[in-house]
Structure formats: structure tokens, C-alpha cells
Amino acid sequence: MYKFVTIYRRVDDETAVDAFFSTTHLPLAEQLPGLVKSEVSRVNRKPGGESRFFLMYELYFESESAFQASLVSEPGVQLMTALKPWGDKKLLTWFYAESFEEERP
């Protein structure tokens, strides 16, 4: 599997993050062709105290090529255009990763 991970930093106005995520990020991501699954995590804290992160969103694809194809689709272009200002302001961190799952006995 291949995934695209977006992590939003904690800010004073978390309702603005929630609003952007629920009205823009999530709906565009759900339209990406080849999306296998997605996962949302609300960050509570880190060991020893409060985390600087607020929300993590993971989008899973069968392969890197499937992900790359999704980026050139209309929703993919719209999604990256919408996320870029947040990244430029360092309000989110995003990265791509190979993902492996292990079955436990």
C-alpha cells in the first residue's frame, strides 16, 4: 500500500481547522480515484503532555502509481491547491509513505 499523510498542527482556532477539513479536505479526498481507504485520527496528547499536532488524515492507495494518477485528476488538483496555503504557512505537515500491514496471530 502507499499512503498520503496530512498532519494538522494545533492552532488557537481549531474550529477553523475542523471547518476546512470537513468542508474542503475530506470531500475532495473522498473523490480521489483509486482511494482504497482513509483514516482520520484526532491527536489527544503525546507522552509527557500536550502535542503540537491536532489532526492526522491518511489516504491509502494500492500503489504509488495509483496515488500519482489520483493527483492529476480534477479532485486531486483541487485538493493539492487547497492544501498548499496551509503547507506554506506551516500549519500542516504532509508526506508520502510505503505502508505495510502485518497480521498478528
State residue 73's pLDDT score. 97
DSSP 60-95: EESSHHHHHHHHTSHHHHHHHHHHHHHHHTTSEEEE
Residue 88, Cα to own-chain centre: how many angstroms?
15
pLDDT band per the 50, 70, 90 thresholds, residue 95: very high
Separation of alpha carbons 22 and 28, rounded Å? 10
For 18-54, what is each residue's pLDDT tens digit? 999 999 999 999 999 999 999 999 998 888 888 899 9
Domains delineated in the chain? 23-98 (3.30.70.100)
Of 102, 82, 100, 90, the C-alpha closest to 21 is 82
Separation of alpha carbons 105 and 69, rounded Å? 35
The 3-state DSSP class for residue 13 equals coil
